[in-house]
Amino acid sequence: MVRCPGALFVCVLPLALILVLVRLGRLSDHHVSDRKDRVPILMLALVSVIAGLVVLNLIHAPASVSAMILALIGGITVLAAVSLAWKISGHASAISAAGVIVALMFGPAWLPLMLLVPAVGWSRVVLGDHTRGQVVAGSLFGGVVIAGLWWVLRGWLS
C-alpha cells in the first residue's frame, strides 16, 4: 500500500517518466535543460499531479494536503507558461515553497529550512542551468505565490 500518494504523484511518477525519457533519448538530461522540452514535461507532470489530487480526494486526505496539490497545479501551470519565454528555476521555486509552507504549518522553529533556498539557488547557477535572475524569480514565485496559494486554499477548503 502506498502510504503517501501525494508524493507518489507529485514527485516519484514525474521523475520516473523523466528518467525513462532520458534513457530513451527523448530528453537530453534529467534537469530538462532544453527549454523546448520543459512545457511538455510540465504538462505531463500536471496530469500526474491532477491524478494525485483525485486519489487524495477519494481517500479523504486532509484539507492542507489537497490545498498543497491545488497550489502545485497552479504553480506548474504558471511555470509552464513562463517556460515558453524564459527558464525560471523550478528547483528554486519548489524548495522555497516547501520551506515557507513547512514554517507556516509547524512554526518558526522550522525557518532554518529557508537556508536551503540560497543553497539550491547557488547550485543551479554554478551548474550553469540558470542565471541569478531565474533563481531569484523562481524562489520568489515559490515562496510567495505557491505558498500563498496554499495558505488561501487551506483556509478555504477547511
Confidence class of residue 151 from pLDDT cuts 50, 70 and 90? very high
Task: Decide if pLDDT at 140 tops 90.
Answer: yes
Task: Give the predicted TM-score (pTM) of the model.
Answer: 0.84
What distance in Å separates the CA atoms of residue 135 and residue 35, rounded to the nearest whole number? Answer: 15
Mean pLDDT of the region 56-66 = 89
Confidence class of residue 30 from pLDDT cuts 50, 70 and 90? confident
Task: Record the cell numbers describing residue 81, joined without a space.
Answer: 507558461
Task: Decide if pLDDT at 143 tops 70.
Answer: yes
Other residues' Cβ atoms within 10 Å of the Cβ of residue 158: 9
Confidence class of residue 104 from pLDDT cuts 50, 70 and 90? very high
pLDDT tens, 110-122?
999 999 999 999 9
Q: Which residue has the cell 496554499?
A: 150
- Domain edges within the chain: 5-157
Interhelix angle for 147-157 vs 90-106, to 10°? 40
